[in-house]
Amino acid sequence: MADVTARQRAILMTVVERYIETGEPVGSGTIAASMGATNMSSATVRNEMVALADAGLLEQPHTSAGRVPTARAFKMYVDRLGQADRRLSATSMGEIDARFADVAGTQAVLERTSHVLATLSSGVGVAIAAMPGGDLLEHVHFSRLAPARILAVVVTRGGMVRDRVLVLDQDLSLTELETASNFLNENFRGWEIERVRAELRQRVERERLEYHRLLGKVEQLWTKAVPDWAGQTIYVEGVANLVGPMGGVDDRERLREMLGALEAKQRLVELLNAYIDARQQSVRVVFDLEEHAPEMEGLVLIAAPARLGGESHGTVAVIGPKRMQYERTMNAVGYIAQVLERQGFRG
């Protein structure tokens, strides 16, 4: 921001760092003491903090309290981190490498990724893998849970296992479910996943009279089991972190909405797809999540694509409160994306 002086910027960055550390409003005396080498008096700092408040970068929660940073102040702080030569310490990188050393298989890697990110950030760790374009169907199975509610399990030759509870327009008997799964397994085992839907539709047209009823049910089952957005597997861990001291959410209704959104994995997929470009090369920090998902107000997204051979095969991310350890979290997200790339990760 061109209208902020170098001195005001230094004061603002100190306020942000102190607020992240303590979670308490920051007074001018504290800032003057922290910046002792500059020989600024408390009165000078106080005047500059008033100017920063007028600029929309600080706010005063109570009449007699100190100041706290606004979202715009956090954005400036993150921009400054982005310009610095940020990197994890050798010790931290070694600890992350050790946590992935004994992990094999896509699902295990994704679970470990979300766990490590949640632990390092004290936020919500998220790991998403896109379904590889060439992955092949190995087996599909449908189980009846209740009237019009079906459990679908899809296994690919790449080792991915996906299960979804389907809510159908009409109930299907056990015989119909068995017939549908047998038809898919006998006709499409070894097919590329994305080709199955198109082929089913073509066969419905070609064999409309003889197979219309059967294939219509099979298509409905397959479409719900592997919908367009479900080409991604998502693992989430650390939702409870938002309720702790760093969470900063006191309103029970706001917390309920926030947790509900985080637990709705489809919502998270949509959110990450809205903000994270598979072509980007670096970590991105997003503050205005409420523009896409109002229930995410007050949360920050830190994410990076997991790449392999120049292509994005998923996303690793942290969702947490504005008051978080940005540098450590940004470094961790970026480094874990590199770890997945080194391991030859594919969704």
Output the DSSP codes for 223-260. Answer: HHHS-GGGSEEEEEE-GGGGGSTTT----HHHHHHHHH
On whether residue 1 sits in a domain, the answer given is no
Q: Which residues contact 64 (CB under 8 A, 6 or more apart)?
A: none
On whether residue 323 sits in a domain, the answer given is yes
On whether residue 81 sits in a domain, the answer given is no
pLDDT of residue 175: 87
Distance from C-alpha of 209 to C-alpha of 198, rounded to nearest angstrom: 19
Please, is 240 exposed, middle or buried when counting C-beta atoms within 10 Å of its C-beta (0-12, 13-18, 19+)?
exposed
pLDDT of residue 160: 72
Q: Is 29 helix (H, G, I), strand (E, B) or coil?
A: helix
pLDDT of residue 163: 72
Distance from C-alpha of 125 to C-alpha of 142, rounded to nearest angstrom: 31
* 286 and 155 assigned to the same domain: no
* 104 and 22 assigned to the same domain: no
- Per-residue pLDDT of 94-142, as tens digits, reads 888 888 888 877 677 878 888 889 888 878 888 877 655 567 888 999 9
* 304 and 273 assigned to the same domain: yes
Domain boundary among 184, 203, 230: 230
Whether the Cβ atoms of residue 222 and residue 200 lie closer than 8 Å to each other? yes
Distance from C-alpha of 327 to C-alpha of 283, rounded to nearest angstrom: 11
Tell which residue, 31, 75, 28, 81, has the closest CA to residue 56.
75
pTM for this prediction: 0.63
**CB-based burial, 135-164: b 16+ in 10 Å, e otherwise:** bebbebbbebeeeeebebebebebebebee
* 171 and 104 assigned to the same domain: no
pLDDT of residue 215: 61
pLDDT of residue 308: 58
Quick one: angle between helices 326-342 and 90-100, nearest 10?
A: 50
CATH number, domain of 184, equals: 3.30.390
What are the 10-residue block averages of pLDDT along the chain, 347 residues in total?
Answer: 81 92 88 76 88 90 80 90 75 88 77 87 80 75 88 81 79 88 90 82 66 61 59 68 56 64 67 71 83 81 76 79 88 88 63
CATH number, domain of 13, equals: 1.10.10.10
- H helix and E strand count, the chain: 12, 10
pLDDT of residue 52: 93
* 236 and 335 assigned to the same domain: yes
* 239 and 338 assigned to the same domain: yes
* 180 and 247 assigned to the same domain: no
pLDDT of residue 12: 92
On whether residue 30 sits in a domain, the answer given is yes
Residues spanned by the domain of 186: 137-230
